């Protein structure tokens, strides 16, 4: 019975997700798709009942037969809600999904699209809805730090998004962080060839990763839902729009870790914000608030955190209704004059970083970072 109920539950959720809903309700539906653990039959019945009450109102259907256990359990759950309004049921639904996400270590503010077809990834949720493909970094417990595997998966996801039928592609993060940058544990996995081999392999991966942004053919939007660090900041200049919550910050602590800029930022940041402001970030580790990043041209617009998700996604859904070929071709015209310079900047930055990663100065800085964390 449990197996049959699970299958019915999955089919029912997929069916019901086609009903028109409010933005907040859509957000909760997207969160449901990100749950990694089975919430249990009682929670599933609550989810089902609240969804039905939200979309159809009070239960008026006939009671199933006593031997139809699954349908009877679902009918009883729906009927038990009585005459509560659709708005109240919708709020209870959102609260329940939010609590389940929080229990798994995520955030009630997670944005993920409804489950769709295509490849699945360990630490990404990649989905398409409303003509928008969303690539969500999904390591909230690690502040969405990018592992070697995740670099490869993001490249694959961008390639997938470039070829699908969507109009826009969005990158965002699960939980309270947008992305904390490179997972420094990547530097602890030394291959047989030693540090030199690791540096070269990492350099090749980084070059391909940045090229995936440079060459992306469709409009690319960053929905920065929290603090951003390192490579997640430097690549923002390669996006077409950057929307940020007012609690986001932007930090590139390269020299602190004995490293140097990447993501074409040695070229794009001075171009966007001027040489001295760029130097404050790239050389001297200055952390910008969302408002400062917007003033300096790195962020397109800042939204209040309380309304961030609703305002941004309503706007993106409207943009996704624009003619797709016109958008893509216009982007390519805007980007074409810069492509050669961007690729040259990427190559030069990677070459410098490969040198840095092999240096005693860089290794000492990274060791100091891990020692500092161990003392906390």
pLDDT value at residue 14: 42
Where does 144-245 have alpha helices with state H?
Answer: 148-163, 194-214, 231-234
68 found inside a domain: yes
Q: Which residue has the higher pLDDT, 39 or 279?
A: 279
52-65: average pLDDT? 88
- CB-based contact 256:365 (threshold 8 Å): yes
**Residues 72 and 144 reside in one and the same domain:** no
My answer on whether 61 and 189 are in the same domain is: no
Would you say residue 110 lies in a domain? no
Residue 339 has a pLDDT of: 96
Per-residue pLDDT, 64 = 86
Task: Provide the domain count of the chain.
Answer: 2
| Domain-located, residue 192 | yes
Sign of CA dihedral 45, 46, 49, 51: negative
| 295 and 241 inside one domain | yes
C-alpha 370: how far from its chain's center? 26
Q: Are residues 36 and 84 in the same domain?
A: yes
* Same domain for 147 and 31: no
Which of 103, 132, 163 is where one domain is finished?
103
As a whole number, mean pLDDT of residues 220-235 equals 97
Q: Which of 106, 122, 118 is nearest to 32 (CA)?
A: 106
Q: Is the pLDDT of residue 224 over 50?
A: yes
From residue 338, alpha-carbon distances to 78, 153, 222, 334 in Å are 58, 26, 20, 8
Q: What is the pLDDT of residue 39?
A: 82
Per the prediction, the chain carries an average pLDDT of: 86
Question: Residue 166: its pLDDT value, please?
Answer: 96
Q: How does pLDDT run across 83-109, given as a tens digit for each residue?
A: 888 888 888 888 788 778 767 665 444
- The larger pLDDT score, comparing residue 276 to residue 2, is at 276
Share of the chain above pLDDT 90, in %: 58
Per-residue pLDDT tens digits for 148-196: 999 999 999 999 999 999 999 999 999 899 999 998 777 667 777 788 9
pLDDT value, residue 356: 95
Nearest 5°: CA angle at 186, between 181 and 190?
A: 160
Whether this model's pTM surpasses 0.85? no
Q: Say yes or no: 54 and 188 in one domain.
A: no
- Identify the CATH number of the domain in which residue 99 sits: 1.20.80.10
Stronger pLDDT, 114 or 222, i.e. the higher one = 222
Task: Specify whether 70 is located in the same domain as 166.
Answer: no
Q: What is the pLDDT of residue 229?
A: 98
Q: Which domain holds residue 186?
A: 124-371
Q: Is residue 118 part of a domain?
A: no
């Amino acid at each position: 019975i449990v197996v049959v109920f699970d299958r019915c539950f999955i089919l029912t959720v997929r069916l019901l997700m086609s009903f028109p809903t409010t933005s907040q309700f859509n957000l909760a539906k997207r969160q449901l798709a990100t749950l990694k653990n089975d919430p249990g039959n009682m929670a599933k019945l609550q989810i089902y009942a609240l969804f039905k009450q939200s979309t159809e109102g009070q239960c008026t259907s006939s009671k199933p037969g006593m031997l139809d256990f699954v349908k009877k359990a679902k009918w009883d759950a729906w009927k038990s809600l009585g005459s509560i309004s659709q708005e109240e049921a919708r709020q209870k639904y959102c609260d329940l999904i939010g609590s389940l996400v929080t229990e798994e270590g995520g955030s009630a503010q997670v944005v993920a699209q409804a489950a769709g077809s295509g490849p699945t990834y360990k630490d990404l949720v990649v989905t398409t809805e409303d003509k928008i493909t969303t690539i969500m970094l999904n390591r909230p417990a690690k502040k969405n730090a990018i592992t070697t595997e995740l670099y490869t998966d993001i490249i694959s996801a961008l390639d997938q998004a470039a070829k699908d039928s969507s109009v826009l592609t969005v990158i965002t993060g699960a939980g309270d962080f947008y992305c904390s940058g490179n997972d420094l544990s990547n530097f602890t996995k030394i291959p047989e060839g030693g540090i030199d081999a690791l540096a070269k392999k990492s350099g090749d991966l980084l070059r391909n990763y940045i090229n995936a942004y440079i060459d992306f053919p469709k409009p690319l939007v960053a929905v920065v839902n929290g603090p951003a660090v390192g490579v997640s900041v430097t690549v923002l200049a390669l996006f077409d729009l950057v929307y940020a919550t007012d609690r986001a910050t932007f930090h590139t602590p390269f020299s602190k870790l004995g490293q140097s800029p990447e993501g074409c930022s040695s070229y794009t940041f001075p171009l966007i914000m001027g040489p001295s402001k760029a130097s404050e970030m790239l050389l001297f580790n200055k952390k910008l608030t969302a408002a400062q990043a917007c003033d300096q041209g790195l962020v397109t617009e800042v939204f209040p955190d309380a309304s961030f998700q609703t305002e941004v996604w309503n706007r993106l859904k409207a943009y996704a209704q624009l003619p797709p070929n016109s958008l893509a071709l216009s982007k390519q015209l805007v980007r074409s004059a810069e492509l050669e310079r961007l690729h040259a900047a990427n190559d030069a930055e990677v070459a410098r970083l490969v040198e840095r990663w092999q240096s005693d100065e860089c290794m000492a800085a990274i060791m100091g970072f891990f020692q500092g964390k161990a003392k906390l």
